[in-house]
């Protein structure tokens, strides 16, 4: 598995997000705010599946985080979630657990970048 530290993925690809949202800055800010408000609870749901030993649930949840991250241009977070999704699909919950700190770290980094974008009105 690729370590996030070795990743070349950008933390926040604003241009990618803007292209998906037809360069509508107000819509992009609304989407970014919704994403930042939702992902912490999504991470908690993932932790719940891991605590329960539910590989299928963890796979679905990591897939959801991956998709949401991709939609807002959070490439580094998407990459970590994708690795977690693959590990969960293989039934390797130990690897998924080991990546939780990376997932939380990448979310914190993305939140910093997105917050700058949101507040740059």
The pLDDT tens digits of the residues spanning 16-66 come to: 999 999 999 999 999 999 999 999 999 999 999 999 999 999 999 999 999
- Contact predicate 48/15, CB 8 Å: no
Q: Residue 2: is its pLDDT beyond 50? A: no
First CA to last CA distance, the chain: 39
- Contact predicate 42/64, CB 8 Å: yes
Average pLDDT over all residues of the chain: 94
Q: Residue 4: is its pLDDT beyond 50? A: no
* Distance separating alpha carbons of residues 1 and 15, to the nearest angstrom: 27
For the chain, what percent of residues have pLDDT higher than 70?
A: 93
* Distance separating alpha carbons of residues 121 and 74, to the nearest angstrom: 20
Distance (Å) of CA 67 to CA 35, 42, 51, 89: 11, 12, 23, 16
pTM, entire model: 0.93
């Amino acid at each position: 598995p690729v370590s996030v530290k070795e990743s070349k993925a950008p933390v926040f690809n604003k241009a990618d997000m803007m292209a998906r949202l037809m360069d509508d800055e107000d819509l992009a800010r609304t989407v970014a705010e919704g994403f930042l408000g939702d992902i912490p609870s999504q991470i908690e749901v993932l932790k719940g599946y891991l605590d329960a030993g539910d590989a299928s649930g963890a796979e679905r949840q990591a897939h959801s985080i991956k998709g949401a991250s991709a939609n807002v241009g959070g490439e580094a977070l998407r990459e970590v979630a994708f690795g977690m999704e693959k590990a969960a699909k293989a039934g390797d919950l130990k690897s998924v657990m080991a990546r939780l700190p990376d997932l939380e770290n990448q979310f914190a980094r993305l939140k910093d970048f997105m917050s700058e974008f949101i507040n740059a009105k």
